[in-house]
Structure 1
Amino acid sequence: MAVDSVSPALAIRSSVGIELWASSGSKQPYEHKDNLPREETKNSRSISFSPDGRYFAYSNGREVMVLRTSDWQLQCSLPRPKAFYLKFSPRGNYLCTWELYVITKDIPEGSPNMFVYEMASGKEVFSIVQKKQSDWEPSWSSDESIFATVIGGEALFYDLTQGVEGFNASVKKIGGSKGGTLSVGPGNSPPFIAIYTPGAKGAPSMCKLYKYPALGQNQTVACKSFFNADRVELIWNRRGTGLLLLTSTEVDKTGASYYGNQALHFLNTKGDSCSVPLSKEGPVHCVKWSPKATEFVVVYGYMPSKAALYNLKCDVVFDFGEGPRNCAYFNTLVVLAGFGNLPGNVEIWDVSKKEKLANIKCPDTTHFEWNPNGEYFVTATTAPRLRIGNGFKVYHYSGALLHETIWPQGQELLAVEWQQFADNTFKEPVITKVKHEGIKSSQPEASKKVYTPPHLRFMSEGKNPEKFVPQSQSTIPGLPPGNPRQYWQRKYDLDKPLMRPGAWREQQQTHNREQMTSVSGAVGGGGVQRHTFNRKQQRYNPYNQSRRRYSSSQANNKKQGAQKSHQQQQQQQQQNPKGFKQQQQQQQHNKNRKNEHNNENNHNNNGANNTRNNRGGRGGDNNNSNGGQPGANNYNRMNKMQAEGTGDVGAASNNEQQQQQTMPQQQQHNKRQQNQRRQQQNPQFNQQRRQQQQQQQQPNQANSGENVAIEGQQPQQQNLQQPKQQQQQTSKKAANPEKEKKIRNVAKKLSDIKKLKARQDQGEVLELNQLNKIEMESKFLEELKALKLSA
């Protein structure tokens, strides 16, 4: 019987206790009433209402308490202090509890951790070991005549038509469902059974529908096979005639998504099966059935995601468009929202009229639930997902805020749940576009201003950003803030006026322009003027003046150091004349070798400069018609031609090309001469070198043995072992490319994270996978550091 005067209560679980709140009317706030229970406890883990609303159960760390909602008195207490989850049967006659599976010294094989209690007597009627926390819930038929669960890869069915005695032994069994999922459909009696079996050894995963009690292999009603499914969620409609399969994989082999792939399939009790067509690539965020069991809504695709309404033929009935949303909640109306890492936009749609009624914003929402009357809904910010700003709000479907409670600091709001009622308890509300009267939120709204870069903020204020001169800051540690040139000018040129910022750069630019315009007709004049200009720069640059003063002090220090070293040499010569003479010879030898090496470098550099100058040098192209300055080598060559009275420039360039071709031969000749000079200058060093070569050749001759060179044949190569150091170097070189590749990959990931942070600082809303990448930054930094240390 439908009524209007019933007001559902709100059950609240917090870090300080369990309590229930209620409202006296639609415009009255929610608060704790004297007739409602309240218990202070810090160890509560779960609260639950029965589907028909008769019972309310909660855990307090000592036992599980079950209250009657008619008078809020105690129905029974269950000795389960470690109860983690609570779940009522469809009609509320049984309560299932689950706690963590524990192995002790006294019971090494473990004890049962899933229990079933009868509410009428409070007695335990069933218990098994259920290790998995994700799929611990058993399945019930709507009339509670069938109880089913999966144990050890087998689906077991218990007949409860005769009462609790049916828990003693199972009446049906289906094997081969290890790692699978079992679900009993609602509505029908006898019900339909859905069993999912994961694929193995290349075989596809499969979901089969049976009509209880016909559970044979050849008695399937419908069947759907698919690949790429690590887990499957079975979603029945309210009548038990349609089933949606949301399959997902933990890893996306294509690399398109960090969270794997999702797909949606449909089965019905008539034997039809198909894949639900999705018009946008990306994950399936949410799937919800309509209470009328004839339609379902799907939110899917990369952000901004799409939302669409489908019928039982999997045809699109209505497209809600794209937007930042990842959740859907169906009641009389449908809510599309974006929670989690999204800003919290909430859209309320009237599905019958296909129109939007309201659009509100509920940031930091972690829990959403419709009121059973279909007119209000609650949003909450709960721990442990968010530990700051906990509280809950109650809204009207028109978007009006009816109630707001901000939880006190130092306490945490853990859960909020509406009191449930049996079907057809409330009348279906009349949906209108009239705005309901509400209250104003006490929380400040977030700023709606768009981020503006600093260089554009002056334009919005009517100022010219080109005239804006930022305050100069010193980039040299230890110097005061300001221009470094001004600091040196204050320190060394106190009699001269201070230069404004940028004046020195302007002087350089004007002098460069004068230099370029002064080159008119003269071939080598530009080089001379440039030399004099550089001298002027050095003369009037206060920074260079300080360098000259500093260099003079360096010269004095060098003189003092030379005097000290001369005195030390004299003392050493008096103490050990023979050793001092050998040391002088060795120093002279090293000095000669260093001079020869410098001569070689100068000779090679001169050759390279000649070739560069022949091609145009620093002065530009050989053709001076474009206004460029010829190189120094071109200038000398043209003066030489004028002196000899020849104007054949091409012939001179050809002679220089011939000289360039003979350069390698000259270098080889110079090296041979240097080796001869070394032998003449230091015969003692050459003698030692010959002895070392002979010592190296002796073991080689001994190892050669019978290897004799014959005319017309090449001598056999001697198998010489490489030194250990060379082998280590080659192994390092072989391993370096792999480490360098890893370092580059980690560096690329860190670069991507840096870009994501920059986008986040600019106010862009990132996806959840991008935020997780940012959280991995410290891990990548440690990995990069370890790779560099091991290299």
Structure 2
Amino acid sequence: MSELATTAPPPPLRLIRRSRTHGIEVLSAPDGRKDENQALDIVQHLGRGVVETAKDGSRLCLGGGSTPLEVVDTGDWRRRSLPDDSSGCERFSFSPRGSYLITWQRPSPDQFPDGSLRCWSLTDLSLAKAFHCKLLNRGGIDATLAWSGDEKVAFHSTTNTISIYDGSLREKLATIKCDSLKAFSASPGMIPYGVAAFVPEIKGRPAQVKVYQFPFPDDSDGQTCAKSFYRAQDCKLTWSPHGHGVLVQTHTDVDATGGSYYGGTGLYLMQSTPKKKGEQAFECLVPLPKEGPVAAAEWEPTKGKEFVVIAGSIPPAAALYNLEAEQIYAFGNAHRNVICWAPHGRFLALCGFGNLAGDVDFWDRNKKKKIGSVNMPCAVEYGWSPDSRLFVTATTAPRMNVDNGIHVYRYDGSGPLSTTKDRDPLFDCFWLPGVTDDYPDRGVSPASKARMRAAPKPEPAKGAYRPPGARGLKGGGSLASMIRAEREKDKGSSGTIRQKKPVGPKLPVGAAPEAGPSRNARRKEAAKKRKEAEAAAKALEASIAAKAPPPPPAKDVATMAPDELLKEQKKLKKKLKQVEELETKVAGGLAPSAEQREKLARKAALADELAQVEARL
């Protein structure tokens, strides 16, 4: 029997929809090969409440209200209920492979004497471990209790401590001491296991992010990399899929430079493993594609050695980087603020959602080519299907209480293949996750290329009304009107063009005009004048340098505070800009005064001072 005959078909694609009237429903996905509008058929009705899914899509958890939590196996839709005291649970989440369910409830010494953060083994629905937890960290359960990607190690954060347990939470293996710990993030990779810890600014001390590895290297506390920086009140830690590195996106409520109303941001890259034993792992400030705030930064989901950054003032720029923070490709400037990778890492959607107009560009990362663009207005939730062939957007409440609905597009933005309008409030819509290896990694199909060629070109945007005079018609002030008026001046009353009198001395009748200099002579004269001008410019520069007074003593950069460094940087940039403008005027023929010559002579010293200040930032 052939290999094709024994290969099982990939699992069907499913959408999860949650609304007020119909509750939680499982919907079938549209067929991406058909062009007509297709209905989303209901496959399963799961009742009401809140739903969470495991990362591989093998299980669902239903909760909310006064009923106990229910675990649903998506293979046969079999339901199992947790004990009665799981009712009223406020937060719940699955471990990376769906082996455990973590729940959190309001602390109650009488009801939960062992702790209100509880971990349930989904093999037999037994309680594996309980922890005391008054409040969850800002990142939720994953920022308080997290597993490694293979679930062999678990990390639990408390005050100034990260405890490391075995995967079943039965034995504590090690402890990481980290004073003033505010947040941590566990790497999804395998051995060696990584964890990043964030310490904010405290009493003038800079903020820090520290990266640890477990098992600990010999004679060390496991720390492999550390980075200190100012202007970091909060931080987002994003690990690469295999744990090669972590992106550190910092944020402050107030931008010290005054460049942004929404506060200051920064982006740093920290690798988890040093290149040589005994050395610190690589870390750096990521060079942004455009100066300004960082809108988004996301890792490529398969190999995890590349990431995309959107940053800069409106319109921001997007670029692709490698693991050394070197720019590989620039996507250009556009009104985009969201990065959405397809699960296979081949397709990439750069979106302008939120307070932007909803324009989305679809790219083929392998060929570095744009494959489509579409406008998806009012999108609140969005995401790729597990097979990387469909893209869904949904307008949901409470962000948008009108025009709630679901739209499904192809991977190149063509469609929509399905449009569903919901009259009642729609709260959630997302794909049921799946295992990427169950679906083939397919490129752009010939049908998509034919659609791209046949797609009508967008019509030019219609501008505001302009009167005839502003459009170059008679009586206007445009260039065409002025040329037309000049021609009319040269015409007599009969409309014939008046002949202009020749310029030059009057010659006798019959005498031929004297011949002018030849073309070669004119070239030589022009070259001579050019050399004279260059020599004069060099002489002027030499005289400026000779007569320039000695430069004032430079300030001691090493003793400056961060705020003073920013002020000094701004002042030096302003002075350099004035010098460059003055050079342009001198090149145009301006004779510089003594004060202006002194400014020109200070250019090199100003550039050196600016480099020293920026090196300290």
Regarding TM over 0.5, the answer is: yes
Alignment correspondent of 1:73: 78
Q: Label 1:192 to 1:257 Cα distance change in 2 as closer, same or farther (>3 A).
A: same
Which protein, 1 or 2, shows the higher relative CO under an 8 Å CA cutoff with sep ≥ 6? 2
Measured in 2, the distance between the counterparts of 1:10 and 1:111 equals 38
What residue in structure 2 maps to residue 96 of structure 1?
102
When the two structures are aligned, how many residues end up with a matched partner? Answer: 443
Question: In 1, are the aligned partners of 2:176 and 2:221 still within 8 Å (CA)?
Answer: no
**What amino acid sits opposite 2:429 in the alignment?**
V
In 1, are the aligned partners of 2:197 and 2:210 still within 8 Å (CA)? Answer: yes
Secondary structure in 1 matching 2:227: strand
Match status 1:414 vs 2:427: yes
User: 1:424 is paired with a residue of what secondary structure?
Assistant: helix
What is the deviation of 1:386? 0.9
Select which of 48, 55, 58 maps to 2:59. 55
Superposed displacement of residue 450, structure 1: 4.6
Match of 1:264 among 264, 267, 273: 267
Residue 195 of structure 1 is aligned with which of 194, 197, 206? 197
Letter in 1 for 2:396: T
Q: Which has the higher strand share?
A: 2
Give the structure 1 partner of residue 545 of structure 2: none
1:355 to 369, 394, 401: 369
AA of the residue aligned to 1:153: N
Give the 5 Å matches for 1:699-710: none
Between structures 1 and 2, the one with greater helix share: 1
- Tell me which residue corresponds to 1:165: 170
User: Contact 1:365 / 1:379 at 8 angstroms: preserved in 2?
Assistant: yes
2:215 to 213, 221, 224: 213
Q: What corresponds to 1:38 in structure 2?
A: 46
Which residue type is aligned with residue 18 of structure 2?
Answer: R
Aligned-pair distance for 1:85? 3.1
Within the alignment, does 1:346 sit opposite 2:350 as a pair? no
Instruction: State the 1:402 CA deviation.
Output: 4.4
The secondary structure found in structure 1 opposite 2:61 is strand
Matched-pair contact (CA < 8 Å) for 2:386–2:435? no
* Matched-pair contact (CA < 8 Å) for 1:4–1:427: no
Distance between the aligned counterparts of 2:116 and 2:252, measured in 1? 29
The one-letter code matched in structure 1 to 2:55 is P
Determine the C-alpha separation between the residues in 2 that align with 1:377 and 1:97: 31
Equivalent position of 1:687 in the other structure: none
The Cα shift of 1:114 comes to 2.8
Please report how far the alpha carbon of residue 3 of structure 1 lies from its aligned counterpart in structure 2 after TM superposition: 5.8
Say if 1:402 and 1:437 are closer, same or farther in 2 by CA, change over 3 A. Answer: farther
Tell me, what secondary structure is at the counterpart of 1:156? Answer: strand
Query: Deviations for 1:514-536, whole angstroms, at most 9, x for unmatched residues?
Result: xxxxxxxxxxxxxxxxxxxxxxx
Q: Is the 8 A contact 2:32 2:410 kept in 1?
A: no
Provide closer, same or farther for how the CA distance between residues 294 and 2 of structure 1 changes in structure 2, counting only shifts above 3 A.
farther
| Residue aligning to 1:364 | 378
SS in 1 for 2:170: helix
Distance in 2 between residues matched to 1:262 and 1:312, nearest whole Å: 21
* CA displacement at 1:206 relative to structure 2: 1.6
Change (3 A) 1:289 1:464: same
Q: 1:373 corresponds to which letter in structure 2? A: D
Cα distance between partner residues in 1 of 2:61 and 2:173: 30
Once the two structures are TM-superposed, the CA of residue 459 in structure 1 deviates from its matched residue by: 8.6
2:12 to 3, 7, 11: 7
In 1, are the aligned partners of 2:289 and 2:310 still within 8 Å (CA)? no
Which letter does structure 1 place at the counterpart of 2:45? P
Asked if 1 retains the 8 angstrom alpha-carbon contact of 2:107 and 2:133, the reply is: no
TM-align CA RMSD: 3.2
Alignment of 1:303-318 (within 5 A): 303-318=314-329
Map 1:88-237 to 2 at 5 A: 88-99=94-105, 101=106, 112-127=115-130, 128-132=132-136, 134-136=138-140, 137=142, 138-160=145-167, 163=168, 165-166=170-171, 170-214=172-216, 219-237=222-240
C-alpha contact (below 8 Å) 1:337/1:345 kept by paired residues: yes
Structure-2 residue corresponding to 1:384: 398
- Report the AA paired with residue 435 of structure 1: S
User: 1:228 and 1:120 mapped to 2: Cα distance?
Assistant: 46
1:175 Cα deviation after fit: 2.8
Q: 2:475 & 2:90 partners in 1: Cα distance?
A: 65
Hey, what's the Cα distance between the residues in 2 that align with 1:351 and 1:33? 34
How far residue 308 of structure 1 moved from its aligned partner, in angstroms, is 0.3
1:26 pairs with one of 32, 51, 73:
32
Q: CA deviation at 1:437?
A: 9.9
Q: Name the residue aligned to 1:242.
A: 245
Identity of aligned residues (%): 29
Aligned-partner Cα distance in 1 for 2:181–2:223: 20
Contact 1:248 1:263 in 2 (8 A): yes
Single out whichever of 259-268 and 423-432 deviates more from structure 2.
423-432
How many Å apart are 1:153 and its aligned residue?
Answer: 2.9
Displacement of 1:218: 5.2
- Alpha-carbon contact 1:118-1:124 (below 8 Å) kept: yes
Matched with 1:608 is none
1:84 to 90, 114, 120: 90
**Equivalent-residue separation in structure 2 for 1:348 and 1:452 (angstroms):** 31
Alignment CA distance shift 1:78-1:341 (3 Å): farther
CA contact (8 A) 1:337 1:344 kept: yes
Structure 2 CA distance for aligned equivalents of residues 277 and 24 of structure 1: 41
Contact 2:25 2:42 in 1 (8 A): no
Structure 1 distance, partners of 2:286, 2:95, is: 31
**Aligned 8 A contact 1:380 1:393 in 2:** yes
Shift of 1:11: 0.9
Which letter maps to 2:53? Answer: F
Structure 2: which amino acid aligns with 1:129? C
- Offset of 1:407 from its aligned partner? 3.6
Q: Deviations over 1:350-406 (max 9, x none)?
A: 111111000100000111111111111111111111111111111101222243344
Separation in structure 2 between the aligned mates of residue 457 and residue 433 of structure 1, nearest angstrom:
48
Structure 2 counterpart of 1:318, one-letter code: Y
Contact 1:236 1:244 in 2 (8 A): yes
| Separation of aligned partners in 1, 2:55 and 2:24 | 20
Q: Deviations over 1:620-639 (max 9, x none)?
A: xxxxxxxxxxxxxxxxxxxx
Unpaired runs of 5+ in structure 1? Answer: 439-446, 466-791
One-letter identity of the residue aligned with 2:464: T
Give 1:400-439 correspondences, 5 Å limit. Answer: 400-409=414-423, 411-432=424-445, 434-435=447-448
Distance, in Å, in 2 between the alignment partners of 1:406 and 1:33 is 12
Question: What per-residue deviation string (whole Å, max 9, x for no partner) do you get for residues 286-343 of structure 1?
Answer: 1111122121000001110000000111111000110111011112211101001100
Q: Cα offset for 1:260?
A: 1.0
Aligned to 2:351: 337
CA 1:295–1:252 in structure 2 vs 1: closer, same or farther (change >3 Å)?
same
Match of 2:411 in 1: 397
State whether residues 55 and 96 of structure 2, in contact with CA within 8 Å, keep that contact through their aligned partners in structure 1. yes
- How much has 1:21 moved relative to structure 2? 0.4
Is this contact kept in 1: 2:306–2:322, CA < 8 A? yes
- For 1:381 and 1:33, the matched residues in 2 are separated by 19
Could you tell me how far apart the structure 2 residues matched to 1:340 and 1:31 are? Answer: 26
Aligned-pair CA distance for 1:284: 0.6
The alpha-carbon distance between structure 1 residues 18 and 208, as it changes in their structure 2 partners (threshold 3 A), is same
| TM-score normalised per structure 2 | 0.66
Structure (1 or 2) with the larger CA radius of gyration: 1
Q: Distance in 2 between matches of 1:231 and 1:115?
A: 27
Alpha-carbon distance between aligned partners in 2 of 1:68 and 1:344, rounded to the nearest angstrom: 36
CA distance in 1 between partners of 2:290 and 2:470 (Å): 41
Give the CA deviation at 1:449.
6.4
> Partner amino acid for 1:321?
G
Structure 2: tracts of 5 or more residues without a match? 1-5, 275-280, 452-458, 477-617
Deviation track 1:680-727 (CA, whole Å, cap 9, x = no partner) reads xxxxxxxxxxxxxxxxxxxxxxxxxxxxxxxxxxxxxxxxxxxxxxxx
CA distance in 1, matches of 2:265, 2:441: 35
Cα pair distance change 1:217/1:205, threshold 3 Å: farther
Shifted more, 79-88 versus 264-273: the winner is 79-88
